Amino acid sequence: MAKIALIGYGRMGKAIEEIIQHENSGHSILYRIDKDNRDLLKRESLKKADVAIEFTRPETAVSNIISCFEAGVPVVSGTTGWLSEWDKVTEQCKKSDGSFFYASNFSVGVNIFFALNQFLAEAISDQKQYEVLMEEIHHTEKLDAPSGTAITLAEGIIRHAKKWNAWKNDKIVSDNEISIISKRETGVPGTHTVAYTSAEDTIEIRHTAHSRKGFALGAVKAALWLINKKGVFGMPDMLNN
């Protein structure tokens, strides 16, 4: 049975803890690491874990992940807002012969939504009359904007549609940019909407999360899947395996 280190003990950390404790799986939480006991991120402590799950803040995520590589511990991260340092992290993973799993969103439903978004973007690619607008709504404690999920959606559109080659977190954009509107409201786990609008009609898809349980369950599944693997992985690797 797996011994899991939770790095970050906020709302997601507690949701993950609840999944592990109530699934009767035999897996256990070895550490609950937060700002008050960051000394447990040392190699001597971390190496006792079979896998780590990291949900913290953008400014600490990279050092947390690299600490896991240095301890030889597979690490799953769902922290968003740090991807400007993606190359640094993945290079360190390879150099350390480590194991890393990243997703902007661990919900199975959201990952189906990603696939639907890409299909729609490709289908609409040659229809020049449409503009695209994205909206994401999250709880007021979420610090980064746009959300990692919204960025993944925008990048999916850019890869599959000819018209758009960039995104901006603003209402006012140029013809080849995707507008992302970010809203923060009390108690909202996450809602994402993608709308293609022309003078004649609007085509809209939306995903609404009702709780954090779907995210937490996906993160636990990813952690258990990652044990004994080497390399850099994401949700498509796990879902298509």
3-state SS, the chain, equals: CCEEEEECCCHHHHHHHHHHHHCCCCCEEEEEECHHHHHHHCHHHHCCCCEEEECCCHHHHHHHHHHHHHHCCCEEECCCCCHHHHHHHHHHHHHCCCEEEECCCCCHHHHHHHHHHHHHHHHHCCCCCCEEEEEEEECCCCCCCCCHHHHHHHHHHHHHCCCCCEEECCCCCCCCEEEEEEEECCCCCCEEEEEEECCCCEEEEEEECCCCHHHHHHHHHHHHHHCCCCEEECHHHHHCC
pLDDT at 94: 97
Does the pTM surpass 0.95? The reply is no
Amino acid of residue 139: H
Question: Helix 213-226 crosses helix 11-22 at what angle (to 10 degrees)?
Answer: 70
Q: Would the pLDDT of 84 be above 90? A: yes
Active site residues: 138, 142
Distance CA 206, CA 235 (A): 20
Q: Would the pLDDT of 159 be above 70? A: yes
Model confidence at 158, pLDDT cuts 50, 70, 90, reads: very high
Percent of the chain with pLDDT over 90: 78
Over the stretch 124-134, which tens digit does the pLDDT of each residue have? 999 999 999 99
Over the stretch 147-156, which tens digit does the pLDDT of each residue have? 989 999 999 9
Q: Would the pLDDT of 143 be above 90? A: no
Over the stretch 22-41, which tens digit does the pLDDT of each residue have? 866 789 999 999 988 999 99
Over the stretch 190-236, which tens digit does the pLDDT of each residue have? 999 999 999 999 999 999 999 888 889 999 999 999 999 999 999 99
Over the stretch 183-197, which tens digit does the pLDDT of each residue have? 999 989 899 999 999
Tokens representing 78 are 């769902």
Are 62 and 88 a contacting pair, CB within 8 Å? Answer: yes
pLDDT at 194: 98
Find the length of the chain. Answer: 241
Q: Mean pLDDT across the stretch 131-143?
A: 91
Q: Name the average pLDDT for the chain.
A: 93
φ and ψ of 78, to 5 deg: -120, 10
